[in-house]
């Protein structure tokens, strides 16, 4: 399968009055055609920043992409002109935002909002045709077309997210970035929306970057997984690698924090401690303060991401030594 999106050595900082926030550090990520890649990490790990970097939506100032490249279709997105990036947004790469309650414009009808993305990328189509296509998209996500004239406040949360998905898929993009598409929804609606996303993905063969902090969703939806912690990818591989052959202590902690249905556990097993302050990153391994295996070396030296066989990569001295991986 061909690589459709490659991110190399991406570094994003936010320069604020209180200091510089290092939101992303040396991030490498590859997305393949037709594959769903799950990007997992706790709140503040930099998942959304990564997604917005791909769309080039980092607000600047204060944000700045300091280093690295994002290669889409042989072109570095970070070096494209504003016109070129506008023709990619929505048409080739589109994005679903976290909160459907706030990601639709409250004063424009949903039909017009879907039609807008179609019109922008198909300037030769006349208004009526565009609107008909918008209605088709609505039908596809299970909303009847006569509701195209309604405003977002007349829809429930789950239906709004369907509208957002219809909007994102309206131009049949090659890459869909879904930033926690189900976090704001209740569990039954979550399942519906995920099921629909999976069907649509198969129908259109869209490569998906699914951002979530729910490992259950990852197991259900993804072929590949990348684990993110404090602005770095600490482990990545296939779903099998991550779930059955867990290497990084942080991934281990994440999986350990899921309650198991066959054990009578009274309390969840959390990972002790907090993420490091993004304004003041430790010079050694970013996870060493919370890691139960940490050694002197971890505190002083920053581990590089290393392949340990197949597609499985990890950023940890301990596991690299065990596996004898090479840098």
What is the binding site for other proteins (CB under 8 A)?
52, 55, 57, 82, 86-91, 94-95, 97-99, 102-108, 116-117, 120-121, 142-144, 147, 150-151, 153-156, 159, 164, 167
The two tokens of residue 31 are: 């997305």
Minimum distance, C-beta of residue 35 to other proteins, in the bound complex (Å): 21
Find the helix packing angle between 110-121 and 127-140, rounded to 10°. 120
Q: How far is the CB of 294 from other proteins (least distance, A)?
A: 38
Nearest CB to other proteins, comparing residues 154 and 304: 154
CA pair distance 176, 205, nearest whole angstrom? 10
Render 254-295 in DSSP notation, one character per residue. Answer: HHHTSPPTTS--SS--PPPS-PPPTTS--SS-TTGGG-TT--
CB 228 within 8 A of CB 45: yes
In the complex, the smallest distance separating the C-beta of residue 208 from other proteins, rounded to whole angstroms, is: 15
Determine the Cα–Cα distance for residues 53 and 50; give it in Å rounded to an integer. Answer: 5
User: Toward other proteins, which CB reaches closer, 99 or 252?
Assistant: 99
Query: Which residue number, 108 or 258, has a Cβ lying nearer to other proteins?
Result: 108
Q: Are 170 and 133 in contact (CB under 8 A)?
A: yes
Q: How far is the CB of 266 from other proteins (least distance, A)?
A: 38
The residue among 10 and 104 lying less far from other proteins, judged by its C-beta, is 104
Bridge-partner residues for 93, per DSSP? 89, 175
Number of CB atoms found within 10 A of residue 80's CB: 16
Q: Which is nearer to other proteins, 2 or 106 (CB)?
A: 106
**Which residues have a Cβ under 8 Å from the Cβ of 22 and sit 6 or more positions away?**
11, 13, 231, 278, 279, 281
Tell the smallest beta-carbon distance from residue 105 to other proteins (Å). Answer: 4
Which of 38, 152 has the CB closer to other proteins?
152
Q: What is the smallest separation between the CB atom of 280 and other proteins, expressed in angstroms?
A: 25
To 10 degrees, what angle do helices 157-169 and 187-204 make?
10
């Amino acid at each position: 399968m061909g690589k459709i999106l490659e991110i190399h050595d991406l570094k994003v900082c936010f320069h604020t009055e209180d200091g510089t926030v290092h939101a992303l550090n040396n991030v490498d990520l590859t997305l393949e055609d037709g594959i769903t890649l799950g990007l997992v990490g706790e709140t503040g790990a930099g998942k959304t920043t990564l997604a917005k970097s791909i769309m080039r939506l980092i607000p600047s100032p204060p944000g700045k992409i300091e280093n690295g490249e994002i290669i889409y279709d042989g072109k570095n997105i970070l070096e494209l002109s504003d016109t070129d990036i506008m023709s990619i947004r929505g048409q080739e790469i589109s994005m679903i935002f976290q909160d459907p309650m706030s990601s639709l414009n409250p004063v424009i009808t949903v039909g017009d909002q879907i039609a807008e993305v179609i019109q922008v990328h198909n300037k030769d189509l006349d208004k009526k045709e565009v609107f008909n296509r918008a209605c088709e998209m609505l039908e596809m996500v299970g909303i009847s077309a006569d509701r195209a004239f309604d405003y977002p406040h007349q829809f429930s949360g789950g239906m709004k997210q369907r509208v957002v998905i219809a909007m994102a898929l309206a131009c049949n993009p090659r890459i869909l970035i879904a930033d926690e598409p189900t976090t704001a929804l209740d569990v039954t609606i979550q399942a519906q929306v995920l099921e629909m996303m999976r069907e649509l993905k198969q129908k259109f063969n869209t490569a998906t970057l699914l951002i979530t902090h729910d490992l259950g969703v990852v197991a259900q939806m993804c072929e590949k997984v990348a684990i993110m912690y404090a602005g770095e990818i600490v482990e990545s591989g296939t779903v099998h690698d991550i779930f059955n052959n867990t290497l990084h202590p942080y991934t281990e902690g994440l999986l350990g924090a899921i309650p198991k249905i066959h054990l009578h556990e009274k309390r969840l097993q959390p990972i002790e401690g907090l993420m490091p302050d993004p304004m003041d990153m430790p010079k050694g391994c970013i996870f060493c303060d919370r890691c139960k295996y940490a050694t002197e070396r971890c505190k002083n030296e920053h581990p590089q991401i290393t392949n340990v066989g197949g597609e499985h990569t990890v950023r940890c001295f301990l596991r690299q030594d065990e596996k004898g991986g090479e840098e």
